[in-house]
């Protein structure tokens, strides 16, 4: 049977010849002792539970601190990776620009060379045309002269036919 502090305070003992009824007092003492013993066990259990909970709380706080450190470290690593990636990207872009400028410079140089080659080829074509024209004019003149001489020779040969031999 459980007894509460209020019941103990409110209890009125029956009086007997030499004081209170001994059996009643002993019964109340026994109830109070049982209640105290039960309360002590409950307190001990709660204290053990408190120790366990305190230990678990400390363990959880340590894990939380470790997780916070891990998250902080991971965030720092992510930031470092981002920064490194950004720097690498900038380097790659700079190298690509440099290569593009070099390719453009070489292309412009090649265009200039091609224009020079085209100019030289046009010049050679004009010179070749002039040479061919001169050769054609020479041969045309030679043919005309040969034709005239051949015509004179034919005329003279024709005159010679009329002379007896």
Would you place residue 160 in the very low, low, confident or very high pLDDT band (cuts 50, 70, 90)? low
Q: What is the mean pLDDT of residues 71-77?
A: 97
Q: What is the mean pLDDT of residues 52-76?
A: 96
| b/e per residue 109-131 (b: at least 16 CB within 10 A) | eeeeeeeeeeeeeeeeeeeeeee
Task: Tally the domains of the chain.
Answer: 1
Taking the CB of residue 165, how many other CB atoms lie within 10 A of it? Answer: 4
Report, in angstroms and rounded to the nearest whole number, the Rg of the chain calculated over CA atoms: 64
Provide the 3-class DSSP secondary structure of residue 66.
helix
The answer to whether the beta carbons of residues 14 and 24 sit under 8 Å apart is yes
The pLDDT > 70 percentage for the chain reads 96
pLDDT digits (tens, 9 = 90+) for 34-49: 888 888 899 999 999 9
- Work out whether strand 19-20 and strand 15-16 pair parallel, antiparallel, or are unpaired: antiparallel
Q: Which long-range contacts (CB under 8 A, 24 or more apart) does 108-112 make?
A: none
pLDDT for the residue 124 = 95
What angle (nearest 5°) sits at the alpha carbon of residue 12, between those of residues 9 and 17?
Answer: 140
pLDDT digits (tens, 9 = 90+) for 92-123: 999 999 999 999 999 999 999 999 999 999 99
pLDDT for the residue 165 = 54
Cα–Cα distance between 101 and 105 in angstroms, integer?
6
The answer to whether the beta carbons of residues 20 and 14 sit under 8 Å apart is yes
pLDDT for the residue 111 = 97
Whether pLDDT at 164 is above 60: no
DSSP per residue, 99-129:
HHHHHHHHHHHHHHHHHHHHHHHHHHHHHHH
Cα–Cα distance between 74 and 148 in angstroms, integer?
107
Whether pLDDT at 89 is above 80: yes
In which domain, by residue range, is 114 found? 5-162
Whether pLDDT at 153 is above 80: no
Please give the model's pTM, rounded to 2 decimal places.
0.45
Residue 4 backbone class (left: φ over 0; alpha: ψ -120 to 50; beta: rest): beta
């Amino acid at each position: 049977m459980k007894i509460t502090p209020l019941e103990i305070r409110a209890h009125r003992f029956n009086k007997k010849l030499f004081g209170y009824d001994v059996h009643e007092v002993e019964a109340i003492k026994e109830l109070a002792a049982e209640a105290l013993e039960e309360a002590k066990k409950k307190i001990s259990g709660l204290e053990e539970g408190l120790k366990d909970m305190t230990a678990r709380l400390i363990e959880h706080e340590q894990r939380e601190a470790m997780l916070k450190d891990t998250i902080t470290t991971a965030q720092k690593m992510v930031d470092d990776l981002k920064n490194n990636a950004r720097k690498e990207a900038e380097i790659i872009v700079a190298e690509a620009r440099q290569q593009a400028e070099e390719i453009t410079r070489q292309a412009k140089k090649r265009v200039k060379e091609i224009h020079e080659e085209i100019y030289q080829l046009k010049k050679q074509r004009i010179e070749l045309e002039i040479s061919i024209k001169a050769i054609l004019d020479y041969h045309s003149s030679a043919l005309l002269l040969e034709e005239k001489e051949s015509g004179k020779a034919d005329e003279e040969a024709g005159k010679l036919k009329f002379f007896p031999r």
